[in-house]
Structures are given as structure tokens and as C-alpha cells.
Amino acid sequence: MRRTFEALEKYAEMAGEHNVDQVMCYGTSALREARNSSRFVQKVEERLGWGINVISTYQEAYYTYLSVREDPTMAGPDWLIVDIGGGSTEVIKGNDQRFLEYVSLPVGTVKLTDMFVKHDPPLEQEIHRLTAYIRSTLAFSFPPQQALIGMAGTMTTFGAMIKRISFDKQAIHGMTIPLSTFDVWIEKMKTMTVAERRELPGWNREGKTCSSRDWC
């Protein structure tokens, strides 16, 4: 709660600096799961005057699908969209006509770090346990030769790292990343400390965020 309040207060400062007169807040997996989510929502409204709309897994997946469908650069008959968040990951199937189906998995970056990673850099056994947990949640298979559309900060950060640039939407949006490239970067990064990873080109060191409309 403390970390989230700090982030929201920074957003409030930014909104004030730009004379924003309406702010809309949406909560996802953390507020869906937390036992004290109603208390947190109440505190945000008391301190910042912002109401939070806690959306369902269906809404979260559908809004992600819409951001791909409405992208004029998107092409192809079928899409398999992967949106890696802090608390959950949505895998979404659709096309330019219909939202077909989705699954929401309890494998977000913040959640997995809190659950499994206790050392910096992570121990080998921590990575093994984390990997085994992720694999245990994947009770489905991807269609053969299906291209994946990766959404939001994890994927766009990878894109910036691969291109060795600071985040640039025009350079990252729509780029193709072979799975073998992910393997190379994962092997490189898993023995690095947080401080070392922050020095990699493309890492977010200024508190800026990438839009979920940006995809690779």
C-alpha cells in the first residue's frame, strides 16, 4: 500500500502540473485479490479524491484486446495477445472482428518477485522454483506457429534493451522479437544484480511508464 500511495502521489503531482481536471483510476489483480482492498480504495479517495474502479479479469483482457484491435498498424487474421502485469498475466485470443476467449494467470512480475526472489541477484534455486510455478499454471498450449503480441512495460522494456535505446514508442511499437533472443537476455540478466540491470540500455530509470497500447 505504501509503495502504491507513493506512485499515486507522483501521478497526482504530474496531473496538477499539467492542469488535468479529470483522473480515472482502474484497479486490477492486486485489488481483486487483497482482503483489505476496500480500505485501500477508501484511503485513495480520502487522500487524493480519486475513485478507483476495480475491473474484472474479463474487462482487463477485453480492454487489452481493444487496444490491439484499434491499432491501425495491426494486421493478421488471428491474434494471441500476452499482457504481463504486476499481479497477473492475461492471454487473449481474438481477431479484427471479435474478442474470442482469454485466461488470466496468477503470474505477474511483482507477485512472482515477492513470492520467490529473496536474494540479489536471485539464487539458481529461486529461479528454478519460479520457473516451475509458471509452468504449473500453463495448463494450455499455444497453436503451432502462432505469433504472440506482447503488451505493456515488460515487453516494451525488452524491446528497448534489445535495440539498446531509451524507450522510444516509434522504435519499439510493432517490432518483432524471436524467442531465441529472449533466451539470450534471460541468461544474461539472471546473474545480474538489480543495480546492474538498471544500467542496461532501455531500462526505466526516470520513473516514466510505457502505455499498454505499445506492443512488440
By CB atoms closer than 10 A (0-12, 13-18, 19+), residue 5 is middle
Cα gap 83→61, rounded to integer Å: 8
Selected residue with higher pLDDT from 86 and 214: 86
For the chain, how far is it from start to end, CA to CA, in angstroms?
A: 31
**Structure confidence at residue 165 (pLDDT):** 85
Any idea what the CATH number is for the domain that residue 157 is in? 3.30.420.150
- The verdict on 74 and 133 lying in the same domain is yes
| Residue 215, in any domain of the structure | no
| Residue 77, in any domain of the structure | yes
| Residue 187, in any domain of the structure | yes
Least confident of 21-30, 132-141, 187-196, 199-208: 199-208
Q: Give a three-class secondary structure readout of the chain.
A: CHHHHHHHHHHHHHHHHCCCCCCCEEECHHHHHCCCHHHHHHHHHHHHCCCEEECCHHHHHHHHHHHHHCCCCCCCCCEEEEEECCCCEEEEEECCCCEEEEEEECCCHHHHHHHHCCCCCCCHHHHHHHHHHHHHHCCCCCCCCCCEEEEHHHHHHHHHHHHCCCCCHHHHCCCCCCHHHHHHHHHHHCCCCHHHHHCCCCCCCCCCCCCCCCEC
Question: Could you report the per-residue pLDDT of 43-101, keeping only the tens digit for each?
Answer: 999 999 999 999 999 999 999 999 888 887 776 678 889 999 888 888 999 888 889 99
- Name the β-bridge partners of 103: 91
- The verdict on 90 and 19 lying in the same domain is no
Query: What confidence tier does 215 reach under pLDDT thresholds 50, 70, 90?
Result: very low
| Residue 210, in any domain of the structure | no
Any idea what the CATH number is for the domain that residue 30 is in? 3.30.420.40
The distance of Cα 171 from the centroid of its chain, to the nearest Å, equals 19
| Residue 208, in any domain of the structure | no
Mean pLDDT of the chain: 86
Query: What confidence tier does 199 reach under pLDDT thresholds 50, 70, 90?
Result: confident
| Residue 62, in any domain of the structure | no
Query: What confidence tier does 20 reach under pLDDT thresholds 50, 70, 90?
Result: very high
Output the pTM of the full model. 0.77
Question: Is 205 a residue whose pLDDT tops 80?
Answer: no
Query: What confidence tier does 146 reach under pLDDT thresholds 50, 70, 90?
Result: low
- The verdict on 24 and 90 lying in the same domain is no
For 30, the domain range is: 2-54
Looking at the 3D structure of the chain, how many domains does it have?
Answer: 2
